[in-house]
């Protein structure tokens, strides 16, 4: 289990004395086999969370506990082992694979390290390549000796997932993992991620701006709606989708086509938020207030805290609006 507490990350901005507050204090837990989706617009800090969890970035402040142990207080060897258990699936599978190496070679390299660690021989590696390719829905005989450019985007992403599985991860961080894949192949990859979670008990951190995709992979999971490095709302997947309370979540949901044909639009489906102003430097009060159609004076003066009993929101005036609408009989 991973517990992340009050994660903050600042980057140097473009000007000499400017800073970008990518994360302003985000806390969450990922249970074994659980699914957590982070949704929000571009620049809200989603990717930074994924990069910190996979060890590619270090936070400016905050703690990460792995089964109760503080990762940043571990010996280097143990910390490396923790980050091995958290594997990142990028949005661009073509960039993630070496074009000069066959699919088999791409899997064999990390498997050799695992074989050495576990005391297995070459035949284990061979059978593991076959097993993993099959697990991700590829025919080993057909794809093994091919190069990445000979596969479709969907097949390449399956190879990337198989490669991530070589090191026997406990958590997969999928960062916009289907956004660069042909629309017709996306559902297959989402289904694969969902199946891996269910069949191998792998936890999933699903980073996306696509609410419908988060809903699909996040069955029985939670969604965190992120705005400017803070959690605007968090709840079970169904509560966020069907009963969002924060105007920002409602705005995100109103941008989604009616979901999967099982819902009809409600009377307040479209929330008239203002466009994001890239030069907006708001740092006090609610960071969403400059765009919020419901903001009042207090919103500009006081930062709303994230509160609730499982369905939590950081809003002075949370109201359930029928943005996605009433569910009708499926
Ligand atoms: N290495 C960096 N140096 C400076 N600023 C950065 C760096 N990485 C990210 N940022 C900034 O931090 C903020 C959060 O970025 P992040 O990539 O986490 O957002 P995101 O929600 O994943 O967006 P996207 O969907 O576009 O990837 C953005 O303002 C971004 O410009």
308 phi-psi bin (left φ>0, alpha ψ -120 to 50, beta other): left
Q: What ipTM was predicted for this assembly?
A: 0.95
In the predicted model, what is the mean pLDDT of residues 177-183? 85
Q: Read off the pLDDT band of 328 (50, 70, 90).
A: very low
pLDDT, greater one: 92 or 17? 92
Report the pLDDT value the prediction gives residue 323, as an integer from 0 to 100: 66
Average pLDDT, the chain: 89
Report the pLDDT value the prediction gives residue 324, as an integer from 0 to 100: 60
User: If you measure from the C-alpha of residue 18 to the centroid of ligand 1, how many angstroms do you get, rounded to a whole number?
Assistant: 15
In the predicted model, what is the mean pLDDT of residues 56-60? 95
Report the pLDDT value the prediction gives residue 258, as an integer from 0 to 100: 57
In the predicted model, what is the mean pLDDT of residues 31-44? 92
Compute φ and ψ for 10, nearest 5 degrees: -115, 145
User: If you measure from the C-alpha of residue 49 to the centroid of ligand 1, how many angstroms do you get, rounded to a whole number?
Assistant: 10
pLDDT digits 0-9 by tens, 131-143: 999 999 999 999 9
Report the pLDDT value the prediction gives residue 13, as an integer from 0 to 100: 80
User: If you measure from the C-alpha of residue 173 to the centroid of ligand 1, how many angstroms do you get, rounded to a whole number?
Assistant: 16
Report the pLDDT value the prediction gives residue 22, as an integer from 0 to 100: 94
Judge contact between 190 and 213, C-beta under 8 A: yes
Report the pLDDT value the prediction gives residue 263, as an integer from 0 to 100: 57
Three-state SS at 274: coil
User: If you measure from the C-alpha of residue 162 to the centroid of ligand 1, how many angstroms do you get, rounded to a whole number?
Assistant: 27
pLDDT, greater one: 272 or 329? 272
Whether residue 276 has its Cβ less than 6 Å from ligand 1? no
Tokens 């079970």 appear where?
236
Q: Read off the pLDDT band of 295 (50, 70, 90).
A: very high
Report the pLDDT value the prediction gives residue 186, as an integer from 0 to 100: 86
Atom of ligand 1 nearest to the CA of 48: 18
Whether residue 278 has its Cβ less than 6 Å from ligand 1? no
Least confident window among 18-32, 182-196, 277-291, 305-319: 277-291
pLDDT digits 0-9 by tens, 246-276: 999 988 887 776 555 545 556 666 677 777 7
Whether residue 270 has its Cβ less than 6 Å from ligand 1? no
In the predicted model, what is the mean pLDDT of residues 160-180? 94
pLDDT digits 0-9 by tens, 214-241: 888 888 899 999 999 999 999 999 899 8
Give me 211's structure tokens: 């609410």
Q: What gap in Å lies between CA 201 and CA 260, rounded to an integer?
A: 26
Mutate to test the pocket of ligand 1, among 22, 207, 214, 283 (most ligand atoms within 8 A of CB): 22
DSSP for 28-85, please give it.
EEE-TT-EEEEE--TTSSHHHHHHHHTTSS--SEEEEEETTEEGGGS-HHHHHHHHHT
Segment (H or E) for 118: helix 103-118
User: If you measure from the C-alpha of residue 121 to the centroid of ligand 1, how many angstroms do you get, rounded to a whole number?
Assistant: 43
pLDDT value at 161 more than 90: yes
pLDDT value at 12 more than 90: no
Q: Read off the pLDDT band of 83 (50, 70, 90).
A: very high
Three-state SS at 25: strand
Q: What gap in Å lies between CA 20 and CA 38, rounded to an integer?
A: 20
Report the pLDDT value the prediction gives residue 325, as an integer from 0 to 100: 54
In the predicted model, what is the mean pLDDT of residues 23-37? 94
Mutate to test the pocket of ligand 1, among 47, 53, 60, 225 (most ligand atoms within 8 A of CB): 47
pLDDT digits 0-9 by tens, 93-142: 888 899 999 999 999 999 999 999 999 998 999 999 999 999 999 999 99
DSSP for 285-320, please give it.
S-TTGGG-TT--HHHHHSPPP-EESSSEE--SS---
pLDDT value at 180 more than 70: yes
DSSP state, residue 231:
E
Whether residue 11 has its Cβ less than 6 Å from ligand 1? yes
């Amino acid at each position: 289990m991973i517990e992340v507490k009050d994660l903050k990350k600042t980057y140097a901005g473009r000007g000499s004395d400017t800073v970008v507050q990518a994360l302003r204090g985000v806390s969450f837990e990922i249970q074994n086999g659980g699914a957590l989706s982070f949704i929000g617009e571009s620049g809200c800090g989603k990717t930074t969370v994924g990069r910190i969890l996979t060890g590619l970035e270090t936070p400016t402040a905050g703690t990460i506990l792995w089964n109760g142990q503080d990762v940043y207080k571990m010996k280097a060897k143990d910390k490396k082992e923790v980050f091995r258990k958290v594997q990142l699936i990028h949005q661009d599978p073509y960039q993630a694979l070496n074009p000069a190496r066959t699919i088999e070679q791409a899997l064999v390299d990390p498997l050799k390290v695992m074989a050495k660690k576990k005391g297995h021989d070459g035949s284990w590696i061979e059978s593991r390549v076959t097993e993993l390719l099959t697990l991700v829905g590829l025919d080993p005989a057909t794809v093994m000796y091919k190069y990445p450019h000979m596969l479709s985007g969907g097949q390449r992403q399956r190879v990337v997932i198989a490669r991530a599985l070589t090191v026997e991860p406990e958590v997969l961080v999928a960062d916009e993992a289907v956004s660069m894949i042909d629309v017709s192949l996306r559902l297959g990859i989402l289904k694969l991620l969902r199946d891996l979670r269910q069949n191998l008990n792998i936890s999933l951190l699903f980073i996306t701006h696509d609410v419908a995709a988060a809903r699909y992979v996040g069955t029985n999971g939670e969604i965190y709606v992120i705005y400017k490095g803070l959690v605007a709302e968090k709840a079970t997947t169904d509560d966020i989708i069907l009963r969002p309370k924060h105007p920002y979540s409602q705005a995100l949901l109103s941008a989604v086509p009616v979901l999967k044909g099982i819902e009809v639009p409600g009377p307040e489906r479209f929330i008239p938020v203002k466009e994001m102003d890239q030069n907006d430097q708001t740092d006090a009060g609610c960071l969403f207030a400059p765009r919020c159609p419901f903001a009042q004076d207090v919103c500009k003066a006081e930062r709303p805290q994230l509160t609730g009993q499982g369905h939590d929101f950081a809003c002075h005036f949370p109201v359930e609006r029928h943005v996605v609408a009433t569910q009708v009989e499926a």
